[in-house]
Amino acid sequence: MAEIHIEEHSSPIKTPKQFVVVVVLAFLVPITLIVMISQLVTSGGDFSKANPGMSDEAIAKRLKPVGEVAVDPTQPKAEPAPATPVAVAAAPAAATATPAKGGNAAKGKVVYDATCVVCHGAGVAGAPKTGDKAAWAPRVKSGMDALYTSSLKGKNAMPPKGGNTSLADADVKAAVDYMVSLVR
């Protein structure tokens, strides 16, 4: 009968000394490679001498602002002009409507044209469009105090005072009166 000989798996490491050498090399070789690569990457030298685009002047020129504001101190200080209103479909109705409170009518329209028309003119983010009676009806029905409160403190996507926190409360209320007058 033929004898079957099975070779066992053997390792090239035969002695404990060889094992220690392999373990030490397993740590030293990757660490040495990492250090060499980091030195190669970081020791690139001073590029500003070799590349004129990296000089301090060239960098300062690229970072310079696009424009500068020059104020003439001899000119009197002018008040800013009111913002130009955005053209909307409800503009003809706005011209013929009479505000609810006569005293603040002009101020309400000015505030509306400068701040409120941005969202209420186009119905941005669910804002009721100026002059849209169906959209304003439930809001008007809730009362003027509720409209004033939501306009002053903000509601849903509308920030407090329509995003213009420099407005006085009376000015915001005048703008609300103006918009409500357009749907009555």
- Quick one: pLDDT at residue 42? 83
Structure tokens, 154 = 């903000």
pTM, 2 dp: 0.44
Q: Please name which of 82, 89, 84, 73 lies closest in space to residue 122, comparing C-alpha atoms.
A: 89
- Quick one: pLDDT at residue 35? 94
Opening angle at CA 20, ends 15 and 21, nearest 5: 95
- Quick one: pLDDT at residue 89? 42
DSSP letter for each residue of 129-170: PTT-HHHHHHHHHT-HHHHHHHHHH-BTTBPGGGG-TTS-HH
Q: Is the sign of the CA dihedral 163, 161, 166, 82 positive or negative?
A: positive
- Quick one: pLDDT at residue 95? 39
135-151: b (≥16 Cβ within 10 Å) or e:
bbeebbeeeeeebeebb
- Quick one: pLDDT at residue 17? 94
Q: Write out residues in the chain with pLDDT < 50, as ranges.
A: 87-102
- What are the residue boundaries of the structural domains of the chain, listed by start? 91-181
**Chosen CATH of 91-181 out of 2.40.40.20, 3.30.365.10, 1.20.59.10, 1.10.760.10:** 1.10.760.10
Structure tokens, 16 = 């404990």
- Quick one: pLDDT at residue 137? 87
